[in-house]
Amino acid sequence: MAKKSARTAAGLRFGIVVARFNQRITSMLLRACTDTLAHCGVAANDVQVVRVPGAFEIPLVARTMARANRFDAVICLGAVIRGDTPHFDYICSEVSRGIGQASLETEVPIIFGVLTTETVAQAEERADQKQFNRGGAAAQSAIEMVKVMRMIRGEADKVAGSKLTSRNGRARLRRKQ
């Protein structure tokens, strides 16, 4: 029997944008992300995965998905690994700026799950479910941000297993015991 806390995201809908470039790495991120969502009670038909050529294309698709009003959050997954040219810096900068801007414009949580590493080994380590598990961390962030936004908007009755508390004037999202 699954733990009660493992089902706290049931009924939430997620869009996932994943880059095909560095596919071995991004496939690992995607697997960890979808496994985490499933473990938290998200039904497979409440997740839509869209693949794009590379990280640079992620922000446009993420913004489009957020504007569609079909997703509670959008998760962006990719891997940009430094090479011998400044291309890495341009791509990383534009992807992070674009994802942040899309989230602010749409007021939908858009999660930055794009690895930016110096080496392939670093990317593999961060995509491995047994090590850093950044794909799973992106899923957890998405779930938490949906709940935070719903609490702020006064939709507490739509957030299963959570409550917003205030301590020293700072809002916190806590699971119900």
Active site residue 39: no
What is the C-alpha separation between 31 and 58, in angstroms, rounded?
A: 18
Catalytic residue among 4, 24, 87, 153: 87
Q: Which DSSP state fits 112?
A: E
Dihedral sign from CA coordinates of 160, 4, 32, 115: positive
Q: Give the Å distances, CA to CA, from 121 to 57, 79, 84, 167.
A: 24, 12, 16, 41
Catalytic residues: 87
